[in-house]
Amino acid sequence: MVTDEYILSSDNLNVYYGNFQALANVSIKIKPNIVTALIGPSGCGKSTLLRCFNRMNDLIPIFSLDGSIKYKSQELYDDTTDATNIRSQIGMVFQKPNPFPKSIYDNVAFGLKINGYTGNYDEAIENSLRRAALWEEVKDRLNKSAIGLSGGQQQRLCIARALAVNPEVLLMDEPASALDPIGTLAIEELIRELAGSVTIVIVTHNMQQAARVSDETAFLMVNDNRAGYLVEHDYTDKIFTNPSEERTEAYITGRFS
């Protein structure tokens, strides 16, 4: 794993919620334009780590952190770094589809509007919906409410909404866990299609999913104080066939969860 260029990197990252330490000394480097999966047992801080990358944890009053997280060369938690600016470059897709109670069109247009896009909206929206593999299903009802879509369609709409702003990174927090198998398959195919044009970091509970969609996998575990730490980060093939760490093997073979 020798690459000079990382798009996201953390160095000795410690995260706290009040007095509780959620992450301990996490140093991880994410390569651009590939899919990186974060796996590990419940409560190991995968989502917390993910939410550090776009400063989503700022919304939690008791959150604090030390150590460093960089987006390219920019220190994410620097006083001069504007969180809203970061979030328009690092998009996020959530566990439960959360389209706005607006039309399909307005959902995708939202990010463009708030970021002051002045180009052709119709074109940008069609383009985003096509990238999210949703265009054919919704092109005749763009002005209908997004709430009428199926769960899987809603989630792809949320992906289209995030892609519209043209982010360099897309963070996905268990994006398929609320979907049926068909919806899950569509999301997984979409992730593979997007890989190469956008950096994807995906948190998943489902190890098969991690194996199917990701190029690299990071395995996190919980230490004795219930804080999450990084055990191993390597090519997905290697993690699932020949991990360096005993603990990783134990986890992926199901000896504990």
Partner 1 sequence: MLNNQAEFKNKTHMGLSKRRVITGKIAEIVFFLCAVISIITTVGIVVSLLSQSLYFFFEVTLWEFLTGTRWAPILKPQSFGVLPLVTGTLLVSGIAALFAVPIGLATAVFLSEYAPDRVRKIAKPFLEILAGIPTVVYGYFALTFVTPKLQIILPDLIIFNALSAGLVMGLMIIPMVSSLSEDAMVSVSRSLREGAYALGATRSEVAWKVVVPAALSGIVASFILAISRAIGETMLVTIAAGATPRMSLDPLQSIQTMTAFIVQLSLGETPHGSIEYNTIFAVGLLLFVMTLTMNLIGHLIVRKWQQVDK
Q: E strands within 147-257?
A: 169-173, 199-203, 216-222, 228-235
The CB-of-38 to partner 1 minimum distance in angstroms stands at: 17
Residue number with CB closer to partner 1 (198 or 221): 198
The CB-of-109 to partner 1 minimum distance in angstroms stands at: 11
Interface with partner 1 (CB under 8 A): 54, 56, 59, 61, 84-89, 91-92, 94, 96, 98-102, 110-111, 113-115, 145, 147-148, 158, 161-162, 165
Residue number with CB closer to partner 1 (19 or 143): 143
Residue number with CB closer to partner 1 (147 or 244): 147
- Between β-strands 90-93 and 169-173, what pairing exists: parallel, antiparallel or unpaired? parallel
Non-local CB neighbours of 97 within 8 Å, separated by 6+ positions: 151, 154, 155, 157, 158, 178
DSSP 121-172: HHHHHHHHHHHTT-HHHHGGGTTSBGGGS-HHHHHHHHHHHHHHT--SEEEE
Residue number with CB closer to partner 1 (45 or 111): 111
Instruction: Enter the DSSP assignment of 116.
Output: T
- Provide the token pair at 141: 């009802």
Residue number with CB closer to partner 1 (148 or 196): 148
- 123 phi/psi in degrees, rounded to 5: -65, -45
The CB-of-141 to partner 1 minimum distance in angstroms stands at: 14
The CB-of-86 to partner 1 minimum distance in angstroms stands at: 8
The CB-of-88 to partner 1 minimum distance in angstroms stands at: 3
